Amino acid sequence: MKMKYETALQKLQDIVEQLENGSLSLDDSLKLYKEGAKLSSYCYEYLKNAEQEITSVQADDDE
């Protein structure tokens, strides 16, 4: 999955809204939940990598 963080986050927010609405069938809800779980993991990894890059830049600046 390659997309901008902001795009993934917006898709995740849209999924949460749809699931909270409660008007979807169980099958559709399950499908969206799985997609949301993947997006959540993607966002987490993206942020973790960004944090590592920042830490690396700060360490380079300290030298």
- pLDDT digit string, tens, across residues 21-49: 999 999 999 999 999 999 999 999 999 99
Residue-level pLDDT at 61: 74
The span from the CA of 2 to the CA of 60, in Å, is 28
List % helix, strand, coil for the chain (3-state, nearest 5).
85, 0, 15
Domain ranges across the chain:
25-63
Is residue 62 predicted with pLDDT exceeding 80? Answer: no
Question: Coil, helix or strand for 4?
Answer: coil
Residue 29: exposure state from Cβ atoms within 10 A (0-12, 13-18, ≥19): middle
The pTM score is: 0.84
